[in-house]
Amino acid sequence: MTFSEKVKTKKFIVTSEIGPPKGVDVEGYLADAALVKGRVDAINVTDLQSSIMRLGSLAFSRLLIERGIEPIYQMTCRDRNRLALQSDLLSAYVLGIRNVLALTGDHPALGDHPQAKPVYDLDSVGLLRAARLLEQGQDLMGKKLKGSPKFCLGAVVNPGVEPLDPEIIKMEKKIDEGAEFFQTQAVFDIKSFEKFMKTVKSFGVPVIAGIVALKSAEMARYMNKHVPGVFVPESIINEMEKSDDKDKKSIEIAARFMKDLKGLAGGIHIMSIGMNKKVPLVLDAAGL
């Protein structure tokens, strides 16, 4: 069953992600992807994550397809205008890519080329609209296409952000523009996430909950301070701090959250943040 078929039939979904290398040596990254082949439904390929210049998500997504792994092609609006975004969507389809995750994208000031000029000609809602129109056989200016693509379109939502109402409104707009599934920011507060899921249940769209395997207590504190909508409880930070084996404790905590979320979310998205080899261990510990 393909990722799109699982989305449409509301089957429980498991995804992970890989950030392409800063360079052209892809073999180690492809080997990491192979570790979860057949164990996850698709792998997100990040698009210049954190505004750091890397190999493009379009090329790496194609490399995954060639190895029998279904990618979710992440597209940000930060670096391309509407011409390039529409062109890359068509290119993605021709290259066999069917799953697209629309993102606005982090500002370049946060990355390794802070002097780069941002574009933001469209936002994530506008990108979804562009993709939907392409599926209907026309571009944003109403010009007809010679052959139209068909995608499984996704978007992101942050269930922990305050206030939550604007996030819910934007989520509805994304659904109106064709979003078929959502992936969330990292979830550490189960009760808050449960409340969020009750609020959006009527939308009828799968919400795939984000899980992060923490590297350390310092990482948790950094996320609390710098990542909007993410709050790692002090009890979890203390667990990490007191543990003699940080890797083992990290996997244990991630697996515990996955088990807690399984009955609430439409799926689990494991964000490895450079620790790709941990993903199979987390899956093992969670019994997935």
The DSSP code sequence of 141-208 is T-PBPSS----EEEEEE-TT-SS-HHHHHHHHHHHHTT--EEEEEE---HHHHHHHHHHHGGG---EE
Tell me what pLDDT residue 216 has: 87
- DSSP H or E run through 125: helix 124-135
Q: State the alpha helices, DSSP H only, in 10-110.
A: 27-34, 57-66, 82-94
Tell me what pLDDT residue 274 has: 67
Q: For helices 246-262 and 279-286, what crossing angle results, to 10°? A: 50
Cβ atoms of 267 and 209 within 8 Å: the answer is: yes
What is the model's pTM?
0.94
Domains located in the chain, CATH noted? 3-286 (3.20.20.220)
> Which two tokens mark 243?
């543990």
Per-residue pLDDT of the chain (288 residues; tens, 9 = 90+): 999 999 999 999 999 999 999 999 999 999 999 999 999 999 999 999 999 999 999 999 999 999 999 999 999 999 999 999 999 999 999 999 999 999 999 999 999 999 999 999 999 999 999 999 999 999 999 999 999 999 999 999 999 888 999 999 999 999 999 999 999 999 998 999 999 999 999 999 999 999 988 888 898 898 888 887 788 889 999 988 888 888 888 899 999 999 999 889 999 999 877 677 888 888 988 887
Cα 69–chain centre separation:
16
